[in-house]
Each structure stands twice: as structure tokens, then as C-alpha cells.
């Protein structure tokens, strides 16, 4: 469970960074 949570957090941060970049560019 901890490992899965860690993976989800990694994906979340990656998505958040990408989404933020798109918003800034937009």
C-alpha cells in the first residue's frame, strides 16, 4: 500500500507540474 501511494504521489506531482506548465504557457 505504501509503495502504491508513493507511486501515485509521483504520478500526481508529474501531472501537476505538466498541468501548471500548460496553464502558465496558456
pLDDT of residue 11: 93
What's the rounded Cα separation, in Å, for the pair 25 and 10? 23
What's the rounded Cα separation, in Å, for the pair 8 and 15? 10
What's the rounded Cα separation, in Å, for the pair 22 and 4? 27
Closest CA to 20 of 7, 12, 10: 12
Per-residue pLDDT tens digits for 6-22? 999 999 999 999 988 88
**Total domains, the chain:** 1
3-state secondary structure (DSSP) of residue 12 = helix
Domain hosting 14: range is 1-26
More confident residue, 3 or 17: 17
Q: Specify the pTM.
A: 0.50
pLDDT of residue 10: 95
DSSP conformational letter for 8 = H
Amino acid at each position: 500500500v505504501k509503495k502504491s501511494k508513493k507511486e501515485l504521489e509521483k504520478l500526481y506531482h508529474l501531472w501537476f507540474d505538466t498541468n501548471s506548465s500548460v496553464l502558465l504557457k496558456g
